[in-house]
Chains A and B, each alone.
Chain A
Amino acid sequence: AQSVTQLDSQVPVFEEAPVELRCNYSSSVSVYLFWYVQYPNQGLQLLLKYLSGSTLVKGINGFEAEFNKSQTSFHLRKPSVHISDTAEYFCAVSRTGGYNKLIFGAGTRLAVHP
């Protein structure tokens, strides 16, 4: 079975500052890794995903994440945040071979202040 731990429930940051949202996973098999963003009362939007290949993955809205197999981590980063980045961010994992049954972390609330 797979599990995901998001180490910070809330991350406050000032506008234009860099941010890192941490995600660690546990799995006995190979996995795919995802980051999703959720705005209030909305569904989820895919920010980026790691399937294979380069461990540095670039996504939408200037976000990127790095897959570290030895540390079983997939931290999300952005060099300069905007007020509009305020949202809930979810890290998720699924077994390789399909996108089935995503397992989500508890989420990290990113609050960007002016």
Chain B
Amino acid sequence: GAVVSQHPSRVICKSGTSVKIECRSLDFQATTMFWYRQFPKQSLMLMATSNEGSKATYEQGVEKDKFLINHASLTLSTLTVTSAHPEDSSFYICSATPRATGELFFGEGSRLTVL
């Protein structure tokens, strides 16, 4: 099946620093990628929709200046958490859809811990 890879899988950073998480579709071109956030023992909440070559569409309540999303190519989207705070600590999961079928494939997730 199609593979979506996230990097890093775990990251610890100091409060006030910025962290970049990458999401790559390894064996297909992804016109659209989605970024989700998952708090412990909770469901996934959609943060934003990332379209290749255009600005991301953010869900209501998500700060676009804090969570910068870039989808510069058909195989890579990045999420940058700027000026991270402890409350940004969470599990971030991306998903990608191939151009043809639209079926979603999920990455392994990235656990961010802000100290």
* A contact residues vs B (CB 8 Å cutoff): 36, 41-46, 90, 98-107
Contacts and interface: CB of A to CB of B under 8 A. Distances in A.
Contacts of A103: 46
Interface of B: 4, 6, 32, 34, 42-46, 49, 91, 93, 95, 97, 102-104, 106-109, 111
Task: Rank and list the top 5 A-B pairs by shortest CB-CB distance, nearest first.
Answer: A43-B106, A44-B106, A99-B102, A43-B108, A104-B43
Given A98-B102, A101-B34, A102-B34, A41 B43 contact: no
Contacts of A106: 42-43
A65 B52 CA distance: 34
A101 B49 CA distance: 8
A83 B95 CA distance: 28
Nearest to B91: A41
Contacts of B91: 41
A104 B44 contact: yes
Contacts of B107: 43
A102 to B, nearest CB: 7
B43 A107 contact: yes
Nearest to B44: A104
A102 B46 contact: yes
B34 A42 contact: no
A109 to B, nearest CB: 8
Given A99-B97, A100-B32, A45 B43 contact: no
Given A42-B108, A43-B93, A101 B46 contact: yes
A69 to B, nearest CB: 22
A41 B109 contact: yes
Nearest to A97: B102
Given A90-B44, A102-B34, A102-B104, 15 more contacts: A41-B91, A41-B109, A42-B109, A43-B93, A43-B108, A44-B44, A44-B93, A44-B95, A44-B106, A45-B106, A99-B104, A101-B49, A102-B95, A104-B44, A105-B43
A103 to B, nearest CB: 8
